[in-house]
Amino acid sequence: MKRHINIPIFIPHLGCPNSCVFCNQRSISGHGDFDIGSVRGELERAVSTLDSDADVEIAFFGGSFTGIDRGEMIYLLSLAKEYIDSGAARSVRISTRPDYIDGEILDILEKYRVTDIELGLQSMDDRVLALSKRGHTSETARKACRMINERGFGLVGQMMIGLPGSDIASEVATAEEIASLCGGARIYPTVVFDGTELCDMTSSGEYQPLTLDDAVIRSEAALNVFIRAGIPVLRLGLCASDNLSDPEKAVAGANHSAIGELVYGEHYMRVLREYIAENRLSLEGKRVTVCAPVGEVSKVSGQKRKNKLRLTGEYGALDVKVIEDPALGKYGVRIETD
C-alpha cells in the first residue's frame, strides 16, 4: 500500500475580515510573516524528500482559503495543480469557512482539481456561533455542506469544544449533524490564545475556559458520536506546532500535549463500562485481564493507569492487567476474570 503523505501549507488569516473570538491566526499558525512567494520552494523541498511512490496530498490549511485574495488563491491552486498534473501529488485539500462556499468557488476548486474541502463549522448551534462571533449561521453551514457533497468533493467538518455558550448537549448535537453531513471530522477543544477576544472575555470573567477534565469528557462525547457513526476523526486537539507550548501565547483552556490520548483513553473507559454492563460482569475481588486491540494497550489502560484504577475503584477489581488480542477490532475489548 502507498504511504500517505500530507504536505501542509499554512495560509494564515490572509483576507479574512472576520473576528471569531477564539482566533488569532498569527498566534495559531506560528507563521506570522507569511510570504506567498515562498510556497513554491516549500512544495519543491517537501516533494524532493519523498519516495516516488508515496501518495501525496497538498493541503492549504490555517485560514479561510476561499476567502483570500482571488488572484493569490488561483496562484496557490495553480501551483498545486502543477504537482497533480505531473503526477507528483494525487490530491489537494483546502480548509475554509462555510460562508466562503458558493457555486462559483466550487467551479474554481473543481477546475484546479481540489479533491477535499474542510469546513470550519465549529458549532451547529446558532447561539454558540453568535457568541463566538463567527459571522454565519448553522443554516449557512448546512447549505455549504450540501453543495460540497452534491459536487462530489470529500468533506471534513471541524468542530470546537467549549466555545462561549456551548455545553456537552450542544456539542453532541453538533457532532451528530457533522456525522450526517461529512465524511470525516476534526475535534478541537478550545484553547485561549493571548491577544484574542476570548482572552479578554476570560480576564473579565465573561468566559470560563475549559478545564482539562471537562475538555476530555466533552471531547469524548463528540468522539463517541463519530465512532458510532463510522466517521473517521482525523485529528483531536491542536498540533504541538500551534504555539501550545508557549505559555505566553496559549494562556488558558484545554492545552495538553497528549489531549488526544486522554480522550481516546476516556472513550475506552466508556467501552469497558458498557462491556461490563452488557455482560453483567462482577469484578469484585477478582483478578482481571482486559484484552485490548493491537496497539491500544496504553489507551485502554488510560493515562497514568487511570482506567485500571477506575476498574478497581468502581468495580472492586484486583490486579488489573491489559494485554493485546489480535482478534479484537478497534474499540473492541474483552474482560476475563480468574
For residues 64 and 307, which CB has a smaller minimum distance to ligand SF4 in the complex? 64
For residues 18 and 298, which CB has a smaller minimum distance to ligand SF4 in the complex? 18
Pairwise CA distance, residues 284 & 304, whole Å: 22
For residues 65 and 226, which CB has a smaller minimum distance to ligand SF4 in the complex? 65
78 sits in the region (left: phi over 0; alpha: psi -120 to 50; else beta) called: alpha
For residues 39 and 225, which CB has a smaller minimum distance to ligand SF4 in the complex? 39
Q: Are 178 and 121 contacting, i.e. CB atoms less than 8 angstroms apart?
A: yes
**One of 7, 9, 10, 13 touching ligand SF4 (CB under 6 A):** 13
Task: Decide if residue 115 touches ligand SF4 (CB under 6 A).
Answer: no
For residues 62 and 184, which CB has a smaller minimum distance to ligand SF4 in the complex? 62
Please state the closest distance from residue 13 (CB atom) to ligand SF4, in A.
5
The DSSP bridge partners found for residue 334 are 291
Please state the closest distance from residue 24 (CB atom) to ligand SF4, in A.
8
DSSP 8-class letter at 40: H
Amino acid at 185: A
Pairwise CA distance, residues 272 & 259, whole Å: 20
Q: What is the CA radius of gyration of the chain?
A: 22
Neighbours of 269 (CB within 10 A): 18
Of residues 259, 277, 333, 278, the one with CA closest to residue 301:
333
Please state the closest distance from residue 70 (CB atom) to ligand SF4, in A.
17
Please state the closest distance from residue 285 (CB atom) to ligand SF4, in A.
53
Interaction pattern, residues 15-54, with ligand SF4; x per rule: CB under 6 A = -x-xxx--x-x-----------------------------
Binding site for ligand SF4 (CB under 6 A): 13, 16, 18-20, 23, 25, 63-64, 97, 120
